[in-house]
Structure 1
Amino acid sequence: MVAAQPLHQRLAAEFRARIASGRWPEGEQAPSEALLCEEFGTSRGPVRQALATLRAEGLIVGGQGRSPIVRRNVPSHSASALGSFTAWAREQGREPGQRTTLQARVPASPDIAERLQVEPGEPVLELRRVRTLDGAPALCETMHFVWSLGKRLMEFDPDTGSVNRFLLDAGADLYASTHQIDAVAATAEDAAQLGLAEGAPLLRVRRTTTDAAGDVVEYGEDRYVPGVTTVIVENRLFAAPSPALRSVPVRRDA
């Protein structure tokens, strides 16, 4: 028999749904702990745990001695799914899109050569796209592939959809990826592509993809517009293999 989900988790799910639906409007106060306890017929403990979960997710702020304030509902993005913008967008009920700005064979710069573990000047495939959500710019995407893999993309129109799906359907060995996440200032090019001011903060995700043998086959860098997504990293509080931010299988529909 499957154990029932803990009450605080069920309450957190209900509160998220109310924020997503607009029942708890952005910028307004959520009901007080006392009102929520009365509505759900429970003690303050589960309500406080549920509100703490939403606070950690960035969905509400405040609440210490007063009702919390609802923040704008920013979709979360699991670290294990960072290679799948297309799938993530559709899971959120959004329409993903892309506009290719560069698709070319280029000599590897010293930095890219080091990332891909090739010699500087060796040919690689460089692909640049602006990814969109419901038609609005969401991130700038830059990808570099070792030429043995990238040359296959010369036959592909990146404006039509998923690069990973095309490569995997063509028999490419894309096995796992690692991600580095930080914040950077928008360059002049970023600003022009994303409709932001130069120097505006961006969430940067750098990705290294390897094949089953552990050889690097792709290095990518995504720069997200603020407010497009939050990244959730799940860890286990016991001595187990590794947190979610380590290598994860590459999804087919990125």
Structure 2
Amino acid sequence: MSAAHPVTHHDIAMFLREKIRSGALQPGDAIPSEATLCAQFGSARGTVRQAVATLRAEGVISSGQGRRSRVVQRIASQSFDDVVSFSQWCRSNGIEPGQRTQSVTRGFAGAQLAEDFHIGQDDPVVSVHRLRLMDGAPAMVERLNYPLHVGKHVLSFDPDTGSIYEQLIANGVDIDHALRVIDAIEAPEEDATLLGVTPGTPLLRVRRKAFTASGSPIESSDDRYLFTKASFAVTSSRSNPQNVSMVSTPR
């Protein structure tokens, strides 16, 4: 890096992530020392410490507790885009995403969505029902709901052409954080028909609520995956927060 472009803690954290991702640093390996990283990047010790703290917060490395931190696993965390966007999650796993839109509607919120969005039951919402594909094969039934001020960007978009999440971001929608609740259900007849399975087949259900930076709810979704297509991985350690990420099931 030149003086005009000084090394930041993001640069150092990215370097270490790539070492872990590529296998140059294996689970259990100690990361380079602060002195080594300072010399390599010509950076201050505080910058290196901030980079290491970032990876600890992500659950990628353990707390050193007086010793050098060690790799916990290859990659323990998942980007926010992968959490919210099915398309981006697929691409990050080397899978081609696809979709077959069943419906896009503007209607009234009703009791449940009014509660989810803190609006009136007669207020307008936009709802999307899609079958999602992984490498051309049925994988998940998706039901998305938005208050109208967000959903208007969906009404002007052909959801068969790609990612609704990317469309919302491109239109300046503030999607800051999300909550996911994961459980298992038996496939109802409608979902089973779309997915090509027998009614009652176990499905992995992921219900998500997304919020703006100020905490306003702007999405309520219900995604139902074939259990052969996705699972969840959790890494825990004594020193780091628990991180959860969805991982593709080997085909």
TM-score tier after normalising by the smaller chain length? 0.5 to 0.7
CA–CA separation in structure 1 for the residues paired with 2:126 and 2:99: 18
CA–CA separation in structure 1 for the residues paired with 2:235 and 2:125: 34
Displacement of 1:226: 1.6
Q: Which moved more, 1:210-219 or 1:226-235?
A: 226-235
After the TM superposition, which segments of 4 or more aligned residues of structure 1 sit over 4 Å from their partners?
6-9, 76-80
Q: TM-score, normalised by structure 1?
A: 0.64
Give the match for residue 172 of structure 1. 173
Alpha-carbon RMSD: 2.9
Displacement of 1:166: 0.8
- Counterpart mapping for 1:78-117 below 5 A: 78=78, 81-117=82-118
Kept in 2: contact 1:79–1:245 (CA 8 A): no
Give the match for residue 60 of structure 2. none
Q: Are residues 1:193 and 2:199 paired?
A: no
Code of the residue aligned with 2:168 in structure 1: it is L
How many residues align? The count is 180
Percent identical residues: 35
Q: Which moved more, 1:82-91 or 1:136-145?
A: 82-91
CA–CA separation in structure 2 for the residues paired with 1:193 and 1:77: 31
Displacement of 1:85: 1.6
Give the match for residue 155 of structure 1. 156
CA–CA separation in structure 1 for the residues paired with 2:130 and 2:150: 18
CA 1:87/1:152 → structure 2, altered by over 3 Å: closer, same or farther? closer
Give the match for residue 184 of structure 1. 185
Displacement of 1:173: 1.1
CA–CA separation in structure 1 for the residues paired with 2:196 and 2:27: 43
| SS of residue paired to 1:151 | helix
- Counterpart mapping for 1:53-92 below 5 A: 78=78, 81-92=82-93
CA–CA separation in structure 2 for the residues paired with 1:78 and 1:195: 29
CA–CA separation in structure 2 for the residues paired with 1:183 and 1:156: 31
Kept in 1: contact 2:106–2:126 (CA 8 A): yes
Kept in 2: contact 1:89–1:95 (CA 8 A): yes
Q: Are residues 1:210 and 2:228 paired?
A: no
Kept in 1: contact 2:77–2:243 (CA 8 A): no
Q: Are residues 1:144 and 2:145 paired?
A: yes
Displacement of 1:236: 3.9
- Counterpart mapping for 1:9-28 below 5 A: none
Kept in 1: contact 2:232–2:244 (CA 8 A): no
Give the match for residue 134 of structure 1. 135
- Counterpart mapping for 1:8-47 below 5 A: none
| SS of residue paired to 1:82 | helix
Code of the residue aligned with 1:191 in structure 2: it is A
Give the match for residue 243 of structure 1. 242
| SS of residue paired to 2:238 | coil
CA–CA separation in structure 2 for the residues paired with 1:234 and 1:143: 29
CA–CA separation in structure 2 for the residues paired with 1:93 and 1:171: 27
Code of the residue aligned with 1:228 in structure 2: it is K
CA-to-aligned-CA distance 1:119-140 (integer Å, 9 cap, x gap):
2121100011100011110000
Structure 2: gaps spanning 5 or more residues: 1-15, 30-72, 246-251
Kept in 2: contact 1:177–1:207 (CA 8 A): yes
Give the match for residue 125 of structure 1. 126
| SS of residue paired to 2:243 | coil
Displacement of 1:84: 2.4
Give the match for residue 45 of structure 1. none
Q: Which has the higher contact order (CA 8 A, sep 6+)?
A: 1
Displacement of 1:6: 5.1
Code of the residue aligned with 1:96 in structure 2: it is P
CA-to-aligned-CA distance 1:175-200 (integer Å, 9 cap, x gap):
11110000011111101111111111
Structure 1: gaps spanning 5 or more residues: 10-52, 54-75, 247-254
CA-to-aligned-CA distance 1:95-130 (integer Å, 9 cap, x gap):
110011111101112112212221212110001110
Q: TM-score, normalised by structure 2?
A: 0.65
Give the match for residue 221 of structure 1. 222
CA-to-aligned-CA distance 1:58-112 (integer Å, 9 cap, x gap):
xxxxxxxxxxxxxxxxxx9959533222122122222110011111101112112
